[in-house]
Amino acid sequence: MLGNIKICPGYRFAGVHCGLKAGDALDLALLLSDCPAVAAAVFTKNRFPAAPVLYGRKQLVEGHNLSAVLINSGNANACTGHQGEIDVMTVAEILAAALNLSREQIFVSSTGVIGEPFPVTTVLKGIETLVSELEGEVAKAKALEAAARAIMTTDKLPKVVGIEVKTSQGLVTLTGIAKGAGMIHPDMATMLAYLLTDAEIDRQVWQAMLQRVVDKSFNRISVDGDMSTNDTVLALANGVSGCSLTSPSDLDVLENGLLQIARDLAKMIVKDGEGATKVVEITVAGASKVAEAEKICRAVANSALVKTAFFGQDANWGRIIAAVGYAGVEIKPELVNISFNQVRVVSGGVRDPGYREEDGAAVLRLPEFTVKIDLQSGEDEFTLLTSDLTHEYVSINADYRS
């Protein structure tokens, strides 16, 4: 499956079934760095953060380097009170002992059903299997795919990317895995992502870089407008390449590479959206402020009526223009233009004189297309990715705990 994906040196992976999910589905993953890695992270803004998020935030504030990441699917360990926090500490301590590390070097993530007690005993049994499954270089691709599958919930496919970038210090590798298909909303989502590099980088520079990258990638996608309690993007830099990146040009190369893998993973999440059949790029251009373009963009991307029209391949531009109008931004309706790919649908706030319904419908039949909304009131713009809203989305979420 991984093909030509570059796998970051200095990391090992494992994914096993421990019993959190039915059947023999993989549900527990381990990412292990051969040496302590500088960590950066961005977490959910939900006011009900899960226990692993609380634990992870504390680790980052205290500036701990990380050596291992334990991720389970099937149980979110969210809204589980003080016991949930104790459970995170327990699994971290047990994994640390198994790997001969300190607890502070262990990062924990969970995803799955909210509000259910965390099955500590089940996870602890899985940790023993995980550690025994750690493979060497020969089986690394297989192990990475297993880890990517183990973090999935309603995802149909694992999400893995990897590239090399050339710096003045030498080649640097970046590898990322992610999960996410539903509860996807800008400002993070039911989404976990882990971005790894073998570069050496200053902690504060790494954190600032990750925040910029997340703002341009994971925070620019929406599947259903729901924000989860567990969202985490963790970035690790273990320095095993020997490339210490400090110059502005080298840092730009690394950031561009990090942005590339983050955007690739973000698009995979939208494409794998629960029941999704379309990936739609929404761009609002010609705004007087970026914040205004963003506000309109999010209104359109999150509109249930717009998203169902995409699914039905119904070129109903009235739903789009209605969302533009209620977004809460001062606009000049008589200037607004809307296009589906290269097909001009709206000119000056009304149906374009040359627009034919069949041309718009032909665009919406494509699996991927763009919607451009030009306000013609300034130079700023904002873009994000969204999906359609389908019958299958309702079925998946109606039966999620069954």
Question: Would you give the distance in Å from CA 203 to the centre of its chain?
Answer: 22
- Is there a contact between 169 and 250 (Cβ–Cβ < 8 Å)? yes
Q: How far apart are CA 66 and CA 95, in angstroms?
A: 13
In this structure, the dihedral spanned by the alpha carbons of residues 116, 118, 121 and 122, taken in order and rounded to 10 degrees, is 70
3-state secondary structure of 40: strand
- Is there a contact between 110 and 230 (Cβ–Cβ < 8 Å)? yes
Residue 2 exposed, middle or buried by CB count within 10 Å (0-12, 13-18, 19+): middle
Report DSSP state, residue 239. -
> Is 129 annotated as catalytic?
no
| Strand partners of residue 388 | none
Catalytic residue among 190, 197, 232, 386: 190
- Is there a contact between 15 and 149 (Cβ–Cβ < 8 Å)? yes
3-state secondary structure of 236: strand
Q: How far apart are CA 11 and CA 143, in angstroms?
A: 11
Q: How far apart are CA 205 and CA 155, in angstroms?
A: 32
- Amino acid at site 121: T
Continuous segment of H or E residues that includes residue 268: helix 248-271
3-state secondary structure of 377: coil
Helices (H), 134-247: 140-150, 203-215
Q: What is the distance between the terminal CA atoms of the chain, rounded to a whole angstrom? A: 30
Q: How far apart are CA 98 and CA 92, in angstroms?
A: 10
Q: How far apart are CA 198 and CA 204, in angstroms?
A: 17
- Is there a contact between 45 and 189 (Cβ–Cβ < 8 Å)? no
| Strand partners of residue 224 | none
Continuous segment of H or E residues that includes residue 249: helix 248-271
As given in the structure block, the two tokens for residue 111 are: 């995803």
| Strand partners of residue 13 | 31
Catalytic residues: 190
